[in-house]
């Protein structure tokens, strides 16, 4: 007997990355060596000192019971200490921090927390596909904000209609940006705060790649702008900063009413994270950050090697400013999907087609710097052999 899905599940968009993984899997089953640059899954292990802290903490019998619903006090305090150290932002651990099961969870939950059926959310295009999942579950509507190279992949707030600004309840931002690898400065976030105050819009800043800014330029936190806590929150994950993707630990910080809404929905769905993981996460945030510096250096070396070879074969590619992605313009005569399929089927290099991130992602593919320098150079050499590009 088959039972029909609920209407809520039927509204969910197709999982973009699932289709990509399936294509790669079929070729691997045929015995092909695929260089997988299509997903955002960190390839390096969690730093050993964090793993050792988890092992040690796992022996604590107090953690073998249910954890406090809203996380242990020490982890919320560690988040506050982290923001004070990294961004000079002061937070109240009781009212301005929510512990989450990975930022993907929070990015879906936020729409269910703040949007009613028919409410409007402003979304970047291109943008992280799972923003739409929460919006669809909430039966809300969207207005898309194009991100283009001409404006350094920042939304043009003056292009949003007066009607949409008056109706909007929630604004999604993400810098350093996935998929474009762009960054935002304080002037942009100051402008965002001004807009949000004027139109009473809640801002959600997805800061997943907050540690990954290149060439010595530290990415800006939304909460560094004056008045930001009045109008929004920021979500941060340990997945990228500490290679803890499989641990599923993240947090939201900022506006107390929004933080309470996240805590409230999680009170009904979860009973917080394993306590030993919370202790290891607190240790990651507050211990020596040399591992983060080394990780950023690794990505910079990979970026320089990969892009250097792509440029040498005649592919004019822009320099990413942050994240571990590169946003590559496709050659003339190809759509994003057609070019991604060509790279996969002929060069056995997997990238993500830009149109999977939105209509304004058409004309690009996204590649992750998530393999060794040697493998990235091998990917570039395979692309070279296709003969699509010509050296000048």
pLDDT in tens, 41-69: 999 999 999 999 999 999 999 999 999 99
Judge whether 205 lies within some domain: yes
Confidence bin at 326 (pLDDT 50/70/90): very high
HSE-CB at 292 with a 13 A cutoff on CA atoms is 19
Give the mean pLDDT of 257-280.
96
Quote the pLDDT of residue 243. Answer: 98
Say which residues have a Cβ less than 8 Å from residue 33's Cβ, sequence separation at least 6. 348
Say which residues have a Cβ less than 8 Å from residue 187's Cβ, sequence separation at least 6. none
Residue 203: exposure state from Cβ atoms within 10 A (0-12, 13-18, ≥19): buried
Say which residues have a Cβ less than 8 Å from residue 1's Cβ, sequence separation at least 6. none
CATH code assigned at 189: 3.40.640.10
Pair 210, 310 in one domain? no
Judge whether 333 lies within some domain: yes
Asked if omega into 373 is within 30° of 0 (cis), the reply is no
Domain stops at, among 286, 315, 342:
286
Q: Is the per-residue pLDDT at 195 higher than 90?
A: yes
pLDDT in tens, 99-146: 999 999 999 999 999 999 999 999 999 999 999 999 999 999 999 999
Domain stops at, among 266, 286, 306:
286
Judge whether 199 lies within some domain: yes
Cβ atoms 312, 391 nearer than 8 A: yes
Pair 229, 84 in one domain? yes
What sign for the dihedral angle of Cα 84, 205, 239, 375? negative
Judge whether 2 lies within some domain: no
Among 278, 224, 288, 276, which residue's Cα sits nearest to residue 253?
A: 224
Pair 70, 128 in one domain? yes
Pair 120, 165 in one domain? yes
CATH code assigned at 356: 3.90.1150.10
Judge whether 102 lies within some domain: yes
Distance CA 318, CA 328 (A): 7
* Domain count along the chain: 2
Pair 42, 75 in one domain? no
| Bridge partners of residue 148, in order along the sequence | none
For residue 309, the enclosing domain spans: 7-46+290-385
Pair 105, 180 in one domain? yes
Pair 147, 203 in one domain? yes
Asked if omega into 176 is within 30° of 0 (cis), the reply is yes
Judge whether 135 lies within some domain: yes
Judge whether 391 lies within some domain: no
Pair 164, 154 in one domain? yes
pLDDT more than 70, % of the chain: 100
Confidence bin at 22 (pLDDT 50/70/90): confident
Cβ atoms 296, 176 nearer than 8 A: no
Quote the pLDDT of residue 355. Answer: 94
Residue with tokens 């040399």: 290
Quote the pLDDT of residue 392. Answer: 62
Quote the pLDDT of residue 21. Answer: 83
Pair 254, 118 in one domain? yes
Give the mean pLDDT of 197-216.
98
Pair 282, 297 in one domain? no
Pair 144, 277 in one domain? yes
Distance CA 103, CA 107 (A): 6
Judge whether 1 lies within some domain: no
Pair 227, 140 in one domain? yes
pTM: 0.96
Domain stops at, among 286, 311, 326:
286
Residue with tokens 């350093």: 176
């Amino acid at each position: 007997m088959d039972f029909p899905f609920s209407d809520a599940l039927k509204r969910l968009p197709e999982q973009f990355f699932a289709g990509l993984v399936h294509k790669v899997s079929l070729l691997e089953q045929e015995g092909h060596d695929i260089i997988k640059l299509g997903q955002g899954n960190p390839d390096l292990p969690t730093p050993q000192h964090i793993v050792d802290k988890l092992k040690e903490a796992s022996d604590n019998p107090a953690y073998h019971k249910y954890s406090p619903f809203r996380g242990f006090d020490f982890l919320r305090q560690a988040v506050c200490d982290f923001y004070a150290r990294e961004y000079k932002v002061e937070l109240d651990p009781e009212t301005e921090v929510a512990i989450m099961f990975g930022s993907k969870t929070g990015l879906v939950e936020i729409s269910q927390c703040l949007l009613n059926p028919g409410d409007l959310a402003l979304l970047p295009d291109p943008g992280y596909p799972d923003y739409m999942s929460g919006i669809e579950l909430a039966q809300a509507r969207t207005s898309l904000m194009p991100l283009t190279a001409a404006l350094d992949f920042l939304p043009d707030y003056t292009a949003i209609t007066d009607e949409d600004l008056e109706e909007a309840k929630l604004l999604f931002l993400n810098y350093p940006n996935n998929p474009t690898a762009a960054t935002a400065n304080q002037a942009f976030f100051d402008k965002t705060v001004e807009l949000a105050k004027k139109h009473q819009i809640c801002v959600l800043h997805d800061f997943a790649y907050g540690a990954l800014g290149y060439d010595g330029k530290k990415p800006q936190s939304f909460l560094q702008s004056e008045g930001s806590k009045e109008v929004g929150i920021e979500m941060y994950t340990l997945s990228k900063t500490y290679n803890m993707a499989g641990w599923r630990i993240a947090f939201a910080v900022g506006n107390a009413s929004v933080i309470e809404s996240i805590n409230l929905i999680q009170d009904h769905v979860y009973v917080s994270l394993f306590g030993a993981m919370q202790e290891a996460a607190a240790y990651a945030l507050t211990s020596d950050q040399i591992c983060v510096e080394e990780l950023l250096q690794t990505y910079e070396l990979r970026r320089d090697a990969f892009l250097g070879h792509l440029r040498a074969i005649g592919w004019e590619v822009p320099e990413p400013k942050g994240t571990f992605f590169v946003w590559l313009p496709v050659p003339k005569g190809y759509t994003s999907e057609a070019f991604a399929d060509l790279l996969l089927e002929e060069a056995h290099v997997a990238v993500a087609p830009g149109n999977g991130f939105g209509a304004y992602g058409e004309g690009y593919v996204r590649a992750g710097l998530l393999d060794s320098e040697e493998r990235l150079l091998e990917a570039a050499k395979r692309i070279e052999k296709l003969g699509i590009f010509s050296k000048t």
